[in-house]
Amino acid sequence: MMRDQTSPRVAAPLADRSTLSFTLLLLSTQITAALVYTVPIPILAGMTEAFGSDPGSAFKVKMVSGILGPAMAVGAPLAGWLSSRFDRRGLLGIFALLAAASGVAPVFLDSIDVIIATRFLLGLAAAALMTIGYTMPGDYLPETRRAGIFGLLSATSMVASVVSLPLSGWLGDSGWRVSFLIYITPLAVAILALPQRLPPPSAVAGEVTKRVRRWYAGIPWGMVALAFAIGIVLSIPGVYLSFHLAGIGASQSSTIGLVMTFATVVSAIASIAYGATVSALGQRVVFVAAFGAMAVGLFGLSVAGNLIVAIVTLMLAGVGMGWLVPNLMGRLSDKVPDADRGRIVGIVQSAMTIAPMFGIALLEPLLPAIGTSGALAAIALLSAVFAVLFYLSPKEAAAQ
């Protein structure tokens, strides 16, 4: 793959920030990206009823979630580019305030069109916070601590999803607007960032490249393709999972939610254990194991005839879910030059964000013929292909 030979690499982190306050800041950057999807889920029906008199209201309410994909695809590379040039403390503060303001705005708004616009801003800000959070460990932490932090970042997002879903439902019992108050959470990022000094690596190294470089210079296209595949593998099963579980006996929404919670908990545990796992096995083997677990788990789920088998296979897939993102980010942190890290992480995050739209576009026309079982089996096959590719790749060439 292409490598950027012109960008400087800083041999050591800018300054070792192995402190509790910095760790909490890193973890807080991942919460908003989880909340953007989970908070609306329990209240969409209430919003549809509230805006029922508006033309096209049913479609517009769905866009409360649908607008997030394009917004995050813009926010991730934008934040990556900015974080390579400007102090991250200011950027985190700006995006956190934008996320809180746009997230809480629907509490006071009466137009579904304006609400959708605020949701676009929220998605952009959430992706920006997430991207900056995944960029900073490579700049400010010693290499021995990065893997563990990447695992914790992934686990934080999953825990936020598990907690926020029932919380939003509980608040929504008092009216759908109340659930949007959960979006005051990003303010924690701004507060935690205030005492930190977070300069971009190029400014500290004093080796800013003077000549104009094209935006695509040094992009590791193999990692972008890998991120795109990971985006499909992680997101598409969730689109069809509730329909598939309903077809094998999960007649109640609470049952489906419980099954999905089991898988999320397993994923969070796997993410927490990622640091120790990658230290023992190495990134290449972890990719093989993660994609392999996804392949076996999703294929088993596609042929499951009862809920017990479905739960077991989904929990196996959950192990892979917990390892894929931190392993990708760990790989990026190790291989991308310091001055380019923010830009590349943003591009990779964008690839993961837009991938589900392409996956759904490919599978939806086939769904009448293959059903949800076929859709899950197709994702299992994609996972198996990547597991084999990593297994066959030379250790030094994998994902570079």
Residue 198 near residue 87 (C-beta atoms within 8 A): yes
Question: In terms of Cα–Cα distance, which of 28, 53, 207 is closest to 126?
Answer: 28
Mean pLDDT rounded to a whole number for the chain? 85
Check if the beta carbon of residue 330 is closer than 8 Å to that of residue 146.
yes
Q: For the residues 357-364, what does the mean pLDDT come to?
A: 86
pLDDT at 31: 95
Contacts of 14 (CB under 8 A, 6+ apart): 139, 140, 199, 201, 204
pLDDT in tens, 7-23: 344 444 555 566 889 99
373 Cβ neighbours under 8 A, 6+ residues apart: 244, 302, 303
| Angstrom distances, CA of residue 85 to CA of 82, 237, 353 | 5, 37, 23
Amino acid 9: pLDDT? 42
221-392 shares the fold of 20-202: yes
Of 3.40.50.300, 2.60.120.10, 1.20.1250.20, 3.40.47.10, which CATH number belongs to 221-392?
A: 1.20.1250.20
| Global confidence as pTM | 0.81
Superfamily name and number for 20-202: MFS general substrate transporter like domains (1.20.1250.20)
Checking if the pLDDT of 206 tops 60, the result is no
Rounded CA separation 128/346 (Å): 8
Q: Give the pLDDT score at 316.
A: 94
C-beta atoms surrounding 214 within 10 Å:
7
pLDDT in the model for residue 213: 54
The confidence band for 5, taking pLDDT boundaries of 50, 70 and 90, is very low
- 88 or 338, which is more confident: 88
In tens, the pLDDT along 223-242 reads 999 999 999 999 888 878 87
Q: Where are the domains of the chain?
A: 20-202, 221-392
322 or 53: which carries more pLDDT confidence?
322
First-last CA distance in the chain: 6
pLDDT tens for 263-305 read: 888 999 999 999 999 999 999 999 999 999 999 999 999 999 8
Model confidence band, residue 196 (pLDDT cutoffs 50, 70, 90): confident
Q: Over the stretch 378-395, which tens digit does the pLDDT of each residue have? A: 999 999 999 999 999 876
pLDDT of residue 44: 79
**pLDDT attached to residue 212:** 45
How much is the pLDDT for 394? Answer: 78
The pair of structure tokens assigned to 331 is 């790989």
**pLDDT for 400:** 47
Angle between helices 143-172 and 112-140 (to 10 degrees): 160
What is the percent of the chain with per-residue pLDDT over 90, rounded to a whole number?
46
The residue ranking higher by pLDDT, 397 or 68, is: 68
The model's confidence at residue 205, banded by pLDDT at 50, 70 and 90, is very low
Q: With 90 as the cut, is the pLDDT of residue 377 above it?
A: yes
Over range 145-168, report the average pLDDT.
89
Task: Give the ranges where 84-220 is alpha helix by DSSP (H).
Answer: 88-104, 112-140, 143-172, 176-179, 187-193, 201-205
Residue 181 has pLDDT above 50, yes or no: yes
